[in-house]
Structure 1
Amino acid sequence: MNCKNCSNNLRAKQKFCDECGAKIIQNRLKPKVLAQQVNEHYFSIDNKLLLTFLDLFRKPEVVIVGYINGTRKKYIDVLQYFALSLTLTGIQVFLMSTFFKESTDISSQFINGFNDASTTTDNPFKDFDVNALNNYQGLIYILTVPFSAVGSWLAYYIIGERTYNFTEHLVINLYYSAQIIIITALLTILFLVFGLDYLIISSIVYILTFVYLFYILKRIFKTNFWNTLGRFSLVMAIYIGSFLIIGLITMLIVVIIAVALHK
């Protein structure tokens, strides 16, 4: 018998391929077999999902640096973990736009203040719809990861800490972002069930994302509090600056196109 993943020759009753490490599937796919696989990967007490989630809090450097250095079996792959977080975001958005639509109607007090800020027709907040923006959360998360990766990579490159290349910084930020997205989605759903204000939830979670990034950088690069704070500040400055630059370039392109079309 050959391995169905890499075609390596296998011994009788071999459970794992000694070439690619894949599990050898002996039985045909049936509901019972499928249920066992789902339980093994997602619901059992020692599954990879739970272990990855917990260890990204307890010892994130083991998960992230281990993956960078080649440890790929103990924890969920970084891209799979990020994809899972986006799936959870989709569930969150669905619940917010259906069962909790009234609770997340942010066009009340806070947004109305912007909407009424000017009586002129050119008020930029006049037609701003935060609820519609929530529908694009998944896309926003995907687009922000490269910016955060550029921020951390360039910041550490500037100070001479070049242990990890850009792709490895991308892995760091993918794991970080996935963990934040999962926590945000879970807390949002949980708090909305109990009727708490969505703006308050968002503000609290937003602050915690920065605290967690600080924690990640401190554990991975093994620096003290003040050194980490300096590096964290530089990362955030580059991150925000890159967003502003891209935003200005995008606005400039839109203006040029609009002017060209009206000529």
Structure 2
Amino acid sequence: MNCKNCNNNLRDSQKFCDECGAKVIQNRLKPKVLAQQVNEQFLCVDNKFLRTFIDLFRTPETVIIGYINGTRKKYIDVIQYFAISITLVGFQVFLMSTFFKESMDFGSGFAEGFNASSAKADNPFKDIDFNSINNYQGLIYILTVPFSALGSWLAYYIIGERSYNFTEHIVINLYYSAQVIIVTALLTILFLVLGLNYFVISSIIYIPTFAYLFYVLKRIFKTTFWETFARFLLVMAIYIGSFMIIGLLMLIIVIIIGIAIYK
């Protein structure tokens, strides 16, 4: 018998491949087998998802550094964990666009003040469709990961802390982002059910996400509070600065294209 993942020779009594670590599947895929796999991954008390979720709060360095150093079986793979978070965001967006459309309303007072900031025809905010922006929330999360990874890698590179390369910083930020996205999506769904406005929810959740990043950086790099705080500020400065530079470049490109078209 050979492993179906790496073609390594296996004994008939083996339950896991000693080459790639994959579970040996001998039964055909049936509803019962599929249900058992779902239960093992997500529903049982000792499942990988719950263990990963809890330990990313309790000891994030164990999950993240462990993955970087090669521990890949105890916790959910970083790409899979991030994919789960994006799937959950898709479910959140579906609920908001179908059952909780009123949650995207600013409220009459805020909306009037927002639009009255420039009540003329040149108001840059008058045509913004926040519902459309919300529909691309998953894509926005995906696109922000390289920027956050660049921020953390460059910040620590500048101060001489070069234990992890850029790819490893992507892993750090993928686990961090996935955890934040999962918590944010679950709390958003809960608060929507309770009747809260989406923008109120966002304001409540916004600050704790940065506090969690501070906590993750402190645990991974094992620095003091003030050392971590200084590095956190540098990470955020580079993160915001890179967004501004990319945005400026995109604006310049759009202007150049527009000039070329209307010439």
**TM-score band, normalised by shorter chain:** over 0.9
- Which residue in the other structure is 1:220 paired with? 220
Q: How big is the shift at 1:140?
A: 0.3
- Which residue in the other structure is 1:8 paired with? 8
- Which residue in the other structure is 1:52 paired with? 52
Please list the CA deviations of residues 202-258 of structure 1 after superposition, one character each: whole Å capped at 9, or x if unmatched: 011111110000000000000011000000000000000000011111111111111
Q: After superposition, where does 1:7-86 map in structure 2 within 5 Å?
A: 7-86=7-86
- TM value normalised by structure 1: 0.98
User: In the alignment, residue 72 of structure 1 is paired with which amino acid?
Assistant: R
- TM value normalised by structure 2: 0.98
RMSD: 1.0
The runs of 5 or more residues in structure 1 that have no matched partner are none
2:258 paired with 1:258: yes
| Matches of 2:251 and 2:19, distance apart in 1 | 52
Please list the CA deviations of residues 87-109 of structure 1 after superposition, one character each: whole Å capped at 9, or x if unmatched: 00000000001111112223643
Q: After superposition, where does 1:61-210 map in structure 2 within 5 Å?
A: 61-106=61-106, 108-210=108-210
| Matches of 2:63 and 2:144, distance apart in 1 | 22
| Matches of 2:105 and 2:93, distance apart in 1 | 13
**Is this contact kept in 2: 1:107–1:130, CA < 8 A?**
no
User: In the alignment, residue 246 of structure 1 is paired with which amino acid?
Assistant: I
| Matches of 1:222 and 1:167, distance apart in 2 | 20
**Is this contact kept in 1: 2:153–2:166, CA < 8 A?**
yes
| Matches of 2:119 and 2:202, distance apart in 1 | 29
Distance 1:13 1:108, change over 3 A: farther
Name the SS for the 1:112 alignment partner: helix
- Which residue in the other structure is 1:234 paired with? 234
Provide the identity percentage: 76
Distance 1:129 1:107, change over 3 A: farther
Name the SS for the 2:94 alignment partner: helix
**Is this contact kept in 1: 2:104–2:130, CA < 8 A?**
no
| Matches of 2:112 and 2:255, distance apart in 1 | 28
User: In the alignment, residue 41 of structure 2 is paired with which amino acid?
Assistant: H
